[in-house]
Chains A and B, each alone.
Chain A
Amino acid sequence: MRGLSLFQRGPSSLWPRRRKAHHFMLSSTSFCTDNGDGLQSSRVNIFDRHLKRKQRDRAAWLMDQKDSFVDAVAENVLDRLEDCKKSFPTALCLGGSVLPIRRLLRGRGGIEKLIMMDTSYDMVKLCKDAELDAQNEEIETSFIVGDEEFLPVKESSLDLVISCLGLHWTNDLPGAMIQSRLALKPDGLFLAAILGGETLKELRIACTVAQMEREGGISPRVSPLAQV
């Protein structure tokens, strides 16, 4: 993993850490689709969120609940909780891989109340219905359908916001992060893993070359990703 960053609300706001070199994850640094102020002024919507939600519904019906890649990412994210001395009684898990986060949490971070949120109702339902081992049952878990770009959580109510492989689909990543920050209490922790940078570079190149050859032009085939 190139850099999986965490920031803490407080004076020391951002400290990316680097670990051994995998190429699939990048830190959640600013990703602006425009040259504006970097806040919520992105005019271009890269992702059709409505369609994305349908895709995630479909993924919920079809997916293998134990994907080793996703598990590795989730494990790596959750591992950071063990680096913190602080405990996080109230946590929000944003969309993406909510199920592995819940399954692999194993009492880390001292979480007492956990909110699982995704834009897809079926994904949330799947997570709600999934059987869990005894260790996680002590956590009060609730489930809501919500959009991380329009976070339905009141200000200063969370100790931890965690997102595993979900934020790379937001149109307004800075906006989503600002809202997470507002929802966090002072000294709360934001922990996220996203796909970024040169992920699937080979696929992107192959699609471009093939399309140039066959159709004489190119169109985007692979989602644009955040750069570190």
Chain B
Amino acid sequence: MSNAVEVHSVSKSFGAVKALDDISFEVRAGELFGLVGPDGAGKTTLFRILTTLLVADSGSASVLGLDPVKDLWAIRSRVGYMPGSFALYPDLSVSENLEFFAAVFGTTIEKGYELIEPIYKQLEPFRARRAEALSGGMKQKLALSCALVHRPELLLLDEPTTGVDAVSRREFWDQLGRLKSSGLTIVVSTPYMDEALRCDRVALIHGGRILEVDLPQSIGARYSLPLIAVKGSNRFALLQTLREFPSARSVYLFGDELHYSDKRVNADAGEIAAEVKTFLAQHGHADAETAPITAGIEDSFMELMGSAPAPKAEAA
């Protein structure tokens, strides 16, 4: 078995809303695979199908070589799942939560301790504290420990870092890296582009469709348009003005600067940067600075999202 997860043309609708529209991809065994997309892209629906909680309308999937519809019980004992909101018992202590999930999987903390040790070690001082009194980062670590206590072969994490501080996020991804090197296959969804870069491969998902599956670096490298970073004092006015530039393709906020892409695919980025600067100076943005840049994954994502058909729910 070389693929831990295979998804073939899976679709799922909720009433008039098409949550997943003909999705296909595979995750190789031992891979750290990222599902990257904004809220409402269909990531959670996909996880719920893979974890046997939902049945797809059409298409087929296989998880660890098993069918999520027919072999649901086998999948349930071999997969570790961490839903979007950490599903812990707030009124049970850290150790009680972990013990409980171990018991549910018919195992004990001791048997799975080796795998969770580096994570659980940090929770040990708070083992008697109730889960509701933990910080976001600690809750996340406890939830991960609970999802790992039965030594699963595949770990499915639905937006594990949402609502967690930056330091905890980095620590969390360090742990994922360690788990991956122990041979565990991990599928993780995230709305954050910086996290996508830490995956082996990512699938960009938007409006229930997969836009691209590739190495995170290659997705950025595939970007073919001239891209200019623009800095200036009044970013909102700058955005308005830039959109009026005759050959503008797209302009969007990117951190504290703006990213501008041009329609002229084969033009020299340096020349365009100069043109844009002149245009801005003429329109009252004398302090604006422009510089050609290489596209990152987020630029690719913005570009792909722009060319993807609008989600049905929004069109309706």
Q: Do A and B come from one complex?
A: no
